[in-house]
Structure 1
Amino acid sequence: MTEQQTAPEAAPEAAPAPTPVVAPTPVVAPPVLAAPPVRSRRVLGAVARWTAAVVVCAGLGAGTAAGITSLERTDVPGLATESDGRWAYPKLSLPALPEGSPRPFTAGNEGEIHHADLRRLVLPAPAGATVDPKADGGWTTTEAFLSGYGEEDRVVLRQALADSTLRHIAARSWTMPDGTRTTIQLLRFGSVAYAEAFKDEALDAGEASDPKVLPAGVEAVVPEDFATVIDVPDTTVYTFREKQPYGPEQSRWAYIQAGDTVGIVTQVRKGEALQVPFQQTVTLQNQLLG
């Protein structure tokens, strides 16, 4: 749009010529864009909705991961889907300590003593298990412990227990619907030194790849190593399985060294003792002792 100009009136001859008026630069309005077709608007709307959904899902996924990784070890339940063969254990937590008593691997506890009730440190049975009423997590006898070994080994182990400062033995046994029989025994000694001596010298575990003391009925053994998967500080785990050829059943067992306590986890199953529930059971028991 341009500004209209008018001719100046005539001036006397003596007056100077008037200054010319410069017309302003015309302002051009921006072009009006045509509205996109209906289909284009629908595509853009769908893209926006999908983008928002992806952002929301990413946020939820990140929040879930952060929640899981932020859980304390004692808050993580021993639950898992049954598709991979793991058992549904109840949620685990460490038992309360007597007032003023430290955890086994804290400063000032040089003997690495478990002051908690040993019976509360035995792993509970998973869902669907039938618990042995003679070994339901309470105290058990030395003879009951020795019954899991052959006659010749019992003589050596009985003497080793008599010479050590054994305080208690707690045990729990159960059978799963597939026939897997699990036995957990926790032996508490007077200090970490006595516990290590019993594990290394009597049970012949330690670093030995071919222990001489074997569960009853087992003649040949294959060592296994998944301690790096368990990764519980201040504890050591030694795992074994019965070597083929074996009879109608196969055995797997583990020795757990945790301060003043030696844990023994044994699983026996007709045909083959499965690795997944065995590793899961050993891992959870080790966490309770660590």
Structure 2
Amino acid sequence: MTEQITSSPKPTPIPTPDAEAGTEAGLVTEAGPESESESASASEPVAAAAADIPPMPTQPPVVQAGRSSRRVLRAVGRWAAAVAVFAGLGTGAAFGISGMERTDVPGLATRDDGRWEYPRLALPALPAGAPRPYTDANKAEIHHADLRELLLPAPAGATADKKLTGGWVSVERYLSEYAPEERADLRITLRDYAVRHVAARGWTMPDGTTSRVYLLRFQSVAFALTYEATEIGDGLTAGVPLAAAPETELDEGWAEDDIVPNTLSKVYAEPKPYGRTQVRQAYVLAGDTLALIVHEKKGGAAAVPFNQTVMLQNQLLG
């Protein structure tokens, strides 16, 4: 198929401003029959003026850009190219980040706050027909699960204490945590309140922190509450002092927002100047069971992993 090329029509001449002005003044640019009788001196200037008028162009005029206009055009071109490049880079970066793990992105990785890596926790199985504490069927708040299975497991990287392996321990082993001059009275108190079982687990972390957790199960909630009130108390100290921490004070940084409802947690820290090691201790009261949690470390025991241990043990008991 061939294309048909049509010629453009000849443009109609457009009168120039000078011609229009001349027309309005009654002047003409071409000599007509009626002008032949005029003198030659009058027709010559008119013919010269007509000769000076350029012919009408057949195409639209091309405006030549000045130096300043060319600089503006070049600047606009450069900015347009830069926007296109950065848009492409931004799209590629966004696609790359969306396909990466959070810890793989520099600057977005979660900073290590000192928490320990505990294994996934699960509540132990109960005997057939036995309800869990804090349910409508267990208003006495008795723990029917094996007390040893309610102990918090050791975190990753820990070295197990060969004497506190998560099994049963004697009352004497528990009393060894306290100052020697306090043990006799505590022994009598524990006998009067008929402690049924004591279970314990201990470990040492690579940074030198030693941890010990004791669970004491009493005959009833009333006995556990009385022991906590008389031997621990509600004051600013932990009551009966530990052998490794003769002085304690209430930990002001502890928040009880994360503890299980209907349970009680009291957290203490050995103030400065402490001795070779610093001790952090806490008591968790949950129904018929009382927990003693101890962290000890040379130069100072960190608060974050200690609070983590307290909360996790509280969850297991609640």
TM superposition score normalised by structure 1: 0.72
How many angstroms does 1:232 deviate by? 1.5
Of 139, 148, 156, which residue of structure 1 is paired with 2:168? 139
Task: Quote the Cα distance in structure 1 between the aligned partners of 2:91 and 2:178.
Answer: 66
The one-letter code sitting in structure 1 at the alignment partner of 2:279 is S
- Report if aligned partners of 1:227, 1:238 keep a CA contact under 8 Å in 2: no
Task: Flag the 1:109–1:120 CA change in 2: closer, same or farther, 3 A.
Answer: same
For the pair 1:109 / 2:160, whether they are aligned, the reply is no
Of 233, 240, 248, which residue of structure 2 is paired with 1:221? 248
Task: Flag the 1:82–1:197 CA change in 2: closer, same or farther, 3 A.
Answer: farther
Task: Quote the Cα distance in structure 1 between the aligned partners of 2:236 and 2:256.
Answer: 17
For the pair 1:285 / 2:300, whether they are aligned, the reply is no
Map residues 54-203 of structure 1 onto 2, 5 A cutoff.
Answer: 83-202=112-231
How many angstroms does 1:49 deviate by? 6.3
Task: Quote the Cα distance in structure 2 between the aligned partners of 1:219 and 1:165.
Answer: 27
- Report if aligned partners of 1:129, 1:176 keep a CA contact under 8 Å in 2: yes
The one-letter code sitting in structure 2 at the alignment partner of 1:278 is F
How many angstroms does 1:139 deviate by? 0.5
Task: Quote the Cα distance in structure 2 between the aligned partners of 1:256 and 1:227.
Answer: 14
Residue 251 of structure 1: aligned partner: 279
Please state whether the residue corresponding to 1:83 is helix, strand or coil. Answer: coil
- Report if aligned partners of 1:130, 1:176 keep a CA contact under 8 Å in 2: yes
- Report if aligned partners of 1:227, 1:237 keep a CA contact under 8 Å in 2: no
How many angstroms does 1:84 deviate by? 1.3
The structure with more radius of gyration: 2
- Report if aligned partners of 2:179, 2:246 keep a CA contact under 8 Å in 1: no
How many angstroms does 1:220 deviate by? 1.9
Q: Which runs of 5+ in 2 are unaligned?
A: 1-79, 103-109
Q: Which runs of 4+ in 1 moved over 4 A?
A: 45-50
- Report if aligned partners of 1:131, 1:174 keep a CA contact under 8 Å in 2: yes
- Report if aligned partners of 1:227, 1:236 keep a CA contact under 8 Å in 2: no
Aligned length: 231
- Report if aligned partners of 1:122, 1:285 keep a CA contact under 8 Å in 2: yes
Task: Quote the Cα distance in structure 2 between the aligned partners of 1:132 and 1:169.
Answer: 16
Note the alpha carbon deviations across 1:75-114, whole angstroms, 9 max, x for none.
xxxxxx7821111111111111111111111113122001
Task: Quote the Cα distance in structure 1 between the aligned partners of 2:163 and 2:89.
Answer: 65
How many angstroms does 1:171 deviate by? 0.2
The one-letter code sitting in structure 1 at the alignment partner of 2:241 is L
Please state whether the residue corresponding to 2:112 is helix, strand or coil. Answer: helix
Note the alpha carbon deviations across 1:216-256, whole angstroms, 9 max, x for none.
03222110152424232111100000111111100000000
Task: Flag the 1:86–1:48 CA change in 2: closer, same or farther, 3 A.
Answer: closer
- Report if aligned partners of 1:89, 1:125 keep a CA contact under 8 Å in 2: yes
Percent identity over the alignment is: 48
- Report if aligned partners of 2:238, 2:268 keep a CA contact under 8 Å in 1: no
TM superposition score normalised by structure 2: 0.66
Task: Quote the Cα distance in structure 2 between the aligned partners of 1:214 and 1:250.
Answer: 13
- When the two chains are superposed, the root-mean-square deviation of aligned CA atoms in Å is 2.9
